[in-house]
A and B are shown apart, each in its own frame.
Chain A
Amino acid sequence: MTNHRPIGMKLLFSIPLLTLVLLGNTLFAQDGKALFQSNCASCHNPFKVITGPALQGVTQRVPDKQLLHDWIHNNQKVLASGNPYFTSLFNQFSKTPMNVFPNLTDKDIDAILTYVETAKPPTSTPGDGTPNPQTPESDNTLLYGILTLILAVIMLILLQVNSSLKKLADDKDGIPAAEPIPFWRNKVYITFIVLILFVLGGFWVVEGAIGLGRQQGYQPVQPIFYSHKVHAGINQISCLYCHSNAMDSKHATVPPLNVCMNCHAAINDYSHGPKLYREDGTEVDGTAEIQKLYSYTGYDPKTSRYDPANAKPVEWIKIHNLPDHVFFSHAQHTKAGKVQCQTCHGPIQEMNEVKQFAPLSMGWCINCHRTTKVNFPDSAGNNGNKFYNIYERFHKDLKTGKMDSVTVENIGGTECQKCHY
């Protein structure tokens, strides 16, 4: 019995000791991480070449610990001494200078190196996502068509049976049957069919004519599978980061490739988001699509250099297109009107491939202009858009209560010449 006590005591003592050691360890690692993030992470990643080399494995590449410390303290001195390994590394990174860190102690550097060597790649959860979100929906019209056809045939057969039965009954009663009129000469049938054809045909022609030049739902295959869901949705990039002109000009414009490269000079693979699928259900390799971006810009991710001779423009396919006789300006709507992009373009941040959401018909524009209020001063203390100070009568009417709000139509948003040149 007594024999057990010392063991118990030892155990009891060792628990705090163990936790201390463990804690100390994590503290140490945490420290290394913090030091790494504040000093080195802008140029180094443990696993990826960014401005500087990927650091994991550096203690094997540079086994001489003193040399490594010297390099991190003051790389200029090491370069000046003509060390062949570092000189060739320096040239390989286009002579990009690394900062000097005279203030880091040897312990700090050891902490950083331990962190770098033990760090694990962020558990990228590619997530299976929804396995196949867009199986082409089987359209029901075909089914309905077949059903109608079958019903029509049954009706015809029944009619035929009915008339034969009637004939039989008449024969039995001895009434001389009138010469039966075949149905293609029966006037009732003929007028009926002509009427139906006329109505259907008229409907289709009008529908088709209105639809000519309209392309709601248009969703072309773009040269690069660029997903708005990944960028504007999952990674929360603002629409205006790329479509920066939407606030100041007629066109929102598609961004030039240098804007893509602001991020993709560093992000060279697709590893953080869910699996991507085209509308027809085939899977997309995001990393390969980013490589396509590099081939368009003439960028070589190995040397981080551009070769203008290999660059060529991406021919994005324009989706939204108003006819030439219509004037539409984004700035008027986004800046002055404060209309959200999604009101007109739909839930772009959920689309992998952009699809035209609105019909862009004249009725669509006019309906919105009739119902949307403009930014006039109101009783809530909102000063409104100063430009509208010129509409003196509306201000008076608002004050006297004759009008409760001013719509775009009131300020002339439905006059032909505002939209038609």
Chain B
Amino acid sequence: MTAIVTGCSDIQREPGKVYMPDMGYSRAYETYAMTEEQKAELLKKGIHFSNTPVPGTIKRDELLPFLIGKDGAGDSANYVASKAVKNPLSSMDTVEAERLYLVNCGICHGPKLDGNGPLYRGGDGPFPAKPATLVGDAKYEAMPEGQMFYSATYGKNKMGSYASQLNTKQRWMVIAYIKSKQAAGKSSPAAAATTDSTAAKK
């Protein structure tokens, strides 16, 4: 009887059969879909998951890498050194930068950059640490873009690293977006509009 019931229930836990497994499931490596043999092969080489690019190579259309490394525990020399780094982008697509910010940062720092995103909600949300108030807090308004980039690249305390979700160029775009919002918050709206439109012109 249980066999009949489970047979008839509409939860489908098995993928079903295919005509020719070697056509249905790729023989070439596909992201996270591996055959047993492929998995054994990779594990032999000590590779658990996705392969990282060969050291020293740069992807097409990618910026030069950020040369400052990550600080060791209890050290902040590199964090301080990063203040001197300047944004290499001279222009950018502001609409895209805003999209990247909203997808990756807005969830904590808030769509209005007030440090009160849906995960924090003034302390009632599930995320226990207060995200930085990027607009409206003198400390972060004065923070140089290089240091912000450092924090977005390597993380800061309970904020993680965004280097795997955003490439170097995208991270600079997001930082430039934050800086432009900080400038807009301080100066008159008219001035903000002009900076925005010049940036959008590309």
- Is A37 part of the contact surface with B, judged by Cβ < 8 Å? yes
Q: Find B103's partner among A139, A142, A215, A241 (CB 8 Å cutoff).
A: A241
Residue contact A212 to B16, C-beta cutoff 8 Å: yes
**How would residues 93 to 106 of chain B score, 1 for a CB under 8 Å from any chain A CB and 0 otherwise?**
00000000011100
Complex contacts, A81 vs chain B, CB 8 Å: none
Instruction: Report B70 CB to chain A, min CB distance, Å.
Output: 13
Q: What separation, in Å, do the CA atoms of A138 and B2 have in the docked complex?
A: 12
- Is A244 part of the contact surface with B, judged by Cβ < 8 Å? yes
Count how many chain A residues have C-beta atoms less than 8 Å from C-beta atoms of the other chain: 65
Complex contacts, B104 vs chain A, CB 8 Å: 238, 241, 244
Instruction: Report B32 CB to chain A, min CB distance, Å.
Output: 6
- Is A340 part of the contact surface with B, judged by Cβ < 8 Å? no
Instruction: Report A346 CB to chain B, min CB distance, Å.
Output: 14
Most buried by B among A48, A279, A324: A324
Given A241-B104, A258-B160, A42-B13 contact (CB < 8 Å): no
**How would residues 37 to 66 of chain A score, 1 for a CB under 8 Å from any chain B CB and 0 otherwise?**
110011101011011000000000000000
Given A95-B74, A325-B23, A220-B124 contact (CB < 8 Å): no
Complex contacts, B32 vs chain A, CB 8 Å: 253-254, 316, 318
Residue contact A43 to B157, C-beta cutoff 8 Å: yes
Complex contacts, A390 vs chain B, CB 8 Å: none
Given A321-B15, A324-B24, A97-B50 contact (CB < 8 Å): no
Instruction: Report B138 CB to chain A, min CB distance, Å.
Output: 10
**How would residues 101 to 141 of chain B score, 1 for a CB under 8 Å from any chain A CB and 0 otherwise?**
01110010000000000110011111111111100010000
- Is B10 part of the contact surface with A, judged by Cβ < 8 Å? yes
Residue contact B73 to A238, C-beta cutoff 8 Å: no
Residue contact B123 to A96, C-beta cutoff 8 Å: no
- Is A205 part of the contact surface with B, judged by Cβ < 8 Å? no
Residue contact A235 to B8, C-beta cutoff 8 Å: no
- Is A175 part of the contact surface with B, judged by Cβ < 8 Å? no
Residue contact A271 to B31, C-beta cutoff 8 Å: no
Q: What separation, in Å, do the CA atoms of A46 and B104 have in the docked complex?
A: 27
Instruction: Kindly report which residue of chain B lies nearest to residue A254, judged by CB atoms.
Output: B32
Number of A-B residue pairs having CB atoms within 8 Å of each other in the complex: 162
Q: What separation, in Å, do the CA atoms of A311 and B11 have in the docked complex?
A: 32
Q: Find B127's partner among A95, A212, A263 (CB 8 Å cutoff).
A: A263
Given A212-B18, A316-B32, A261-B126 contact (CB < 8 Å): no
User: For chain B residues 18-56, which have a beta carbon within 8 Å of chain A?
Assistant: 18-19, 22-28, 30-33, 48-50
Q: What separation, in Å, do the CA atoms of A220 and B11 have in the docked complex?
A: 9
Q: What separation, in Å, do the CA atoms of A297 and B27 have in the docked complex?
A: 28
Residue contact B13 to A221, C-beta cutoff 8 Å: yes
Q: What separation, in Å, do the CA atoms of A305 and B129 have in the docked complex?
A: 18
Interface of B is mostly: loop
Complex contacts, B26 vs chain A, CB 8 Å: 324
**How would residues 308 to 328 of chain A score, 1 for a CB under 8 Å from any chain B CB and 0 otherwise?**
000111001010010111000
- Is B9 part of the contact surface with A, judged by Cβ < 8 Å? yes
Count how many chain B residues have C-beta atoms less than 8 Å from C-beta atoms of the other chain: 60
Q: What separation, in Å, do the CA atoms of A244 and B76 have in the docked complex?
A: 30
Q: Find B25's partner among A259, A262, A321, A355 (CB 8 Å cutoff).
A: A321
Instruction: Report A413 CB to chain B, min CB distance, Å.
Output: 23
Instruction: Report B3 CB to chain A, min CB distance, Å.
Output: 12
Complex contacts, B155 vs chain A, CB 8 Å: 262
Instruction: Kindly report which residue of chain A lies nearest to residue B119, judged by CB atoms.
Output: A235
Given A237-B107, A258-B160, A213-B9 contact (CB < 8 Å): no
Q: What separation, in Å, do the CA atoms of A240 and B76 have in the docked complex?
A: 32
- Is B158 part of the contact surface with A, judged by Cβ < 8 Å? yes
Complex contacts, A267 vs chain B, CB 8 Å: 126-128
- Is A396 part of the contact surface with B, judged by Cβ < 8 Å? no
Q: What separation, in Å, do the CA atoms of A142 and B49 have in the docked complex?
A: 45
Complex contacts, A279 vs chain B, CB 8 Å: 11
- Is A127 part of the contact surface with B, judged by Cβ < 8 Å? no
Q: What separation, in Å, do the CA atoms of A313 and B48 have in the docked complex?
A: 6
Q: What separation, in Å, do the CA atoms of A324 and B159 have in the docked complex?
A: 40
Q: What separation, in Å, do the CA atoms of A212 and B157 have in the docked complex?
A: 51
Residue contact A324 to B25, C-beta cutoff 8 Å: yes
Residue contact B10 to A139, C-beta cutoff 8 Å: yes
Q: Find A213's partner among B19, B76, B165 (CB 8 Å cutoff).
A: B19
- Is B17 part of the contact surface with A, judged by Cβ < 8 Å? yes
Residue contact A238 to B48, C-beta cutoff 8 Å: no
Instruction: Kindly report which residue of chain A lies nearest to residue B160, judged by CB atoms.
Output: A262
Residue contact B4 to A43, C-beta cutoff 8 Å: no
Residue contact A96 to B12, C-beta cutoff 8 Å: no
Instruction: Report A421 CB to chain B, min CB distance, Å.
Output: 11
- Is A167 part of the contact surface with B, judged by Cβ < 8 Å? no
Q: What separation, in Å, do the CA atoms of A135 and B61 have in the docked complex?
A: 52
Instruction: Kindly report which residue of chain B lies nearest to residue A317, judged by CB atoms.
Output: B15
Complex contacts, A221 vs chain B, CB 8 Å: 13
Residue contact B31 to A139, C-beta cutoff 8 Å: no
Residue contact B24 to A263, C-beta cutoff 8 Å: no
Give 21 A-B contacts (CB < 8 Å), ordered by A residue. A42-B157, A50-B158, A96-B157, A211-B16, A212-B17, A213-B16, A213-B17, A213-B19, A220-B15, A236-B118, A238-B104, A241-B103, A241-B107, A241-B165, A244-B104, A251-B31, A256-B164, A259-B160, A262-B162, A263-B119, A266-B128
Known: A142-B4, A316-B32; 5 extra A-B contacts, CB below 8 A, are A215-B12, A235-B118, A241-B103, A256-B50, A312-B48
